[in-house]
Chain A
Amino acid sequence: MADTPEAIRKSVRTYMFVGAVLFVGTIVTVLVATVPAFDVGEHGFDKWDCILGLTIATIKASLVAFIFMHLNHEKKAVYWLFGSGLCMVCSLAGLTALAMYSPIFDKYFFSGH
């Protein structure tokens, strides 16, 4: 638990470190997107840029959630409560996107735009 003064003093350094990682992550994402030399995959935006960008974003978001929001040492109940939201949002985003995989949308989906 980070509730004792000792533990809090210790974790302040972690917070600094995580903050720095977040800054670096942001810079990497921007470099990949804007500087041609760092471009991944095809020339210009493509699925690899998308995957890389979202992966870095997910890592950053996880750092915020686990370190800043203390999910790394939180009670089990919180995982259930917040997890329920995450679970349902996957259902919403996943299934609506899946509904696009139908003949009437194929033209757009596979056209590469």
Chain B
Amino acid sequence: MEIPYVVTPRKDTGLFNSKIAIWLFLASEVMLFGGFFSAYVFLRLGADFPWPERTLPVLPGLINTFVLIGSSVTVVFAWASLKLRDWRKFQIFMGITVACAAIFMVLKGVEYNVKLHHQAVRLKDYTVIEGHLGKETENGKPVLNHHGKEIEENLILVNAKKFTFNTVRFYKPWIEELLTQANHHNAKITLSSDVVAVVREGQPAELVAKAGVPLSIELLTKLQKTHLAARSHNGEYRTQALRQEWVNAHTANPDKQDWQIAADVNIDMKALAPKLLDEISSVSFDVVPPSKFDFQPRDIKEADGQSRLRDDTVVDGELLDSPMVFHAVDAIDFQHLAMKAVEKGMDPIVAIDNSWLVKNNVFAKEAWEWNKVQVAKIEKRLLDDYGTDAKTGKPNREPTLKERYRIGWKDFVAKSDGVDRDKETIKLKEEFFGPDYHGREEKATFEGFAVPREQVGFAAKFTPAWNTYYALYFTITGLHGLHVVGGALVLAYYLFFGRQMYLTNPEWLANRVEVGGLFWHFVDLVWIFVFPILYLM
């Protein structure tokens, strides 16, 4: 059996099979990315927060654009060389194409890495602070978690006296983390009281675990098994009992409907009790002596006295002061606060003057006052250049919201150098890797700046969690990156394993490269739109 039109085009359609397939596939890809672009339009038009305009460093994106365009040119050259039966040239051009893909992905990785280490916090009054967190230390040494990694100073601290675990839902890695921390404080986590339960039908209660046994995953697993067995056992008996109750109820009330008698149909628990086993749904452990435990903010619903972890573990103990500590702050952003103030009919300037940050931090107040002067300078410059509207008397051009309400890293540098904002340029390296604190420590006067936990509205790294813009940025570029990798793998396959086919059926290889190239151009084509909408708008 042979599938026709694999190499030669069909006469009436003029196309070989894989060419039809790739165009169909691209149509489908258009829909996929179209879905994301529609989401972008929808979310941006409907955003109830100041959309981060032109927020990414342009240079890495620009270089990536050049790299992709270049590779688009070389892949078409590679195809042309194959058509002209020049294997050597094909190798060169295809090699460049694949190398371009690699450069693209490396740059992408650098960009991602910077974002994933950059912290942002939105205070309760919608002031946004951006920067880098300090590392948790003790006696000058970094504290490590149970993976042996450094911990950032963004933790909920509890002086824990007792842990109560849900025997079904406890999460093993967290138990390990608790044990590591207890070990660190030379504390012991031991079973509070004897666990005594009926584990065999009709038998008296037996000792399942003795008070004082140290916490271990094995112990919890054992209790879990006992609990689940009892739950199954009891469930079966209760079901049978309820069934019998309904049979009786139907005989007693032959002409009543279920809903009329349902309230009176109940299991006779007294009669059933001797048959049932004891379920151990939770189990408590004491911490001796009570010690300081830390938890990731997302994992815990903190409250003084009793906090609850996401796996239903209850932590008894006093909530300690758990500030979020910045090693360095590289931007203060009042745009969101200003927007909220306008929505409430307030003067944004007054609202910012009265914000928690400006009132409580001298450097922030200084920076904000400096910023007011800078905005006035920009206003004047725009007025000089573009004048005012003859009818309304208002200036033709005004500073942007970003200029008015955001004080970024460059501005901090400009301020400390005593020059106007935007006069100071940052180092080329910083375009790629973010602010470089080396040699500028004295300007990062926020060092050790602590945000009290009760001021924190929402905190995240610059990940998809931070806002819908970053969510779109990561999802679209991530998916595009997967396409780049996929396309590069296919092209690399032709480059490294195409020789055999080139010798036997060069036209077939040319067809394949053309089809792979069409995909590659499409990836470039998507980037042509991704670049302006994510980097420049």
**Are A and B physically bound partners?**
yes
Decide if B397 is an interface residue (CB 8 Å cutoff). Answer: yes
Name the residue on B nearest A91 (C-beta).
B34
| Contact, CB under 8 Å: A64 / B73 | no
Residues of B within 8 A of A33 (CB): 54, 58, 532, 536-537
Decide if A11 is an interface residue (CB 8 Å cutoff). Answer: yes
Decide if B42 is an interface residue (CB 8 Å cutoff). Answer: yes
Decide if B261 is an interface residue (CB 8 Å cutoff). Answer: no
| Contact, CB under 8 Å: B537 / A45 | yes
Given A45-B537, A89-B31, A61:B529 Cβ within 8 A:
yes
A residues with CB within 8 A of B: 3, 5, 8-9, 11-12, 15-16, 18-19, 22-23, 26, 29-30, 33-34, 42-45, 49-50, 53-54, 56-57, 60-61, 64-65, 68-69, 75, 77-78, 81-82, 84-86, 88-89, 92-93, 96-97, 100, 105, 108-109, 113
CB of A47, distance to nearest CB on chain B (Å): 10
CA–CA, A98 to B70, complex, Å?
37
7 chain-A/chain-B pairs, Cβ below 8 angstroms? A15-B77, A23-B66, A29-B532, A44-B402, A84-B27, A108-B48, A109-B46
CA–CA, A81 to B532, complex, Å?
27
| Contact, CB under 8 Å: B72 / A64 | yes
| Contact, CB under 8 Å: A57 / B45 | no
CA–CA, A82 to B27, complex, Å?
5
A113 touches which of B15, B47, B398, B403 (Cβ 8 Å): B47
CA–CA, A29 to B529, complex, Å?
11
Residues of B within 8 A of A105 (CB): 45-46
| Contact, CB under 8 Å: B536 / A64 | no
Q: What would 4 more interface pairs be, CB under 8 Å, given A77-B14, A97-B42, A108-B47?
A: A15-B73, A44-B53, A50-B537, A92-B34
Secondary structure at the A interface, as helix, strand, loop or mixed, is helix
Binds A, one of B229-237, B324-332, B520-528: B520-528
| Contact, CB under 8 Å: B20 / A29 | no
Minimum-distance CB pairs A-B, first 6: A85-B27, A44-B400, A89-B34, A33-B536, A19-B73, A75-B14
Given A43-B397, A61-B528, A97-B42, A75:B13 Cβ within 8 A:
yes
B51 touches which of A89, A97, A113 (Cβ 8 Å): A113
| Contact, CB under 8 Å: A78 / B529 | no
Residues of A within 8 A of B382 (CB): 43
CB of A63, distance to nearest CB on chain B (Å): 9
Decide if B456 is an interface residue (CB 8 Å cutoff). Answer: no
Given A26-B65, A61-B529, A64-B528, A8:B83 Cβ within 8 A:
yes
CA–CA, A45 to B399, complex, Å?
11
Map CB proximity to A onto B38-71 as digits: 1 under 8 Å, 0 otherwise.
1001100111101101100010001001100110
B residues with CB within 8 A of A: 13-15, 19-20, 23-24, 26-31, 34-35, 37-38, 41-42, 45-48, 50-51, 53-54, 58, 62, 65-66, 69-70, 72-73, 76-77, 80, 83-84, 339, 382, 397-400, 402-403, 517-518, 521-522, 524-525, 528-529, 531-533, 536-537
B42 touches which of A3, A5, A18, A96 (Cβ 8 Å): A96
CA–CA, A85 to B522, complex, Å?
13
A43 touches which of B66, B83, B400 (Cβ 8 Å): B400
CA–CA, A17 to B174, complex, Å?
60
| Contact, CB under 8 Å: B30 / A11 | no
| Contact, CB under 8 Å: B532 / A53 | yes
Name the residue on B nearest A69 (C-beta).
B521
| Contact, CB under 8 Å: A49 / B76 | no
| Contact, CB under 8 Å: A30 / B62 | yes
CA–CA, A18 to B72, complex, Å?
11
Given A64-B528, A81-B20, A109-B45, A5:B83 Cβ within 8 A:
yes
Residues of A within 8 A of B13 (CB): 75, 77
Residues of A within 8 A of B62 (CB): 26, 30
| Contact, CB under 8 Å: A81 / B23 | yes
| Contact, CB under 8 Å: A57 / B529 | yes
Residues of A within 8 A of B528 (CB): 22, 57, 60-61, 64
CA–CA, A3 to B514, complex, Å?
12
Given A93-B38, A96-B41, A8:B46 Cβ within 8 A:
no
Name the residue on B nearest A104 (C-beta).
B46
Residues of B within 8 A of A65 (CB): 521, 525
Given A23-B69, A29-B536, A53-B532, A97:B398 Cβ within 8 A:
no
B76 touches which of A15, A26, A75, A78 (Cβ 8 Å): A15
A64 touches which of B14, B19, B521, B537 (Cβ 8 Å): B521
CA–CA, A16 to B77, complex, Å?
9
CB of B530, distance to nearest CB on chain A (Å): 9
B38 touches which of A54, A64, A92 (Cβ 8 Å): A92
Residues of B within 8 A of A44 (CB): 53, 399-400, 402-403
Given A30-B62, A57-B532, A49:B70 Cβ within 8 A:
no
| Contact, CB under 8 Å: B77 / A34 | no
| Contact, CB under 8 Å: B35 / A92 | yes
Given A61-B529, A68-B72, A75-B15, A8:B84 Cβ within 8 A:
yes
Output the residue of A43, A54, A96 with the most chain B CB within 10 A.
A43
CB of A96, distance to nearest CB on chain B (Å): 5
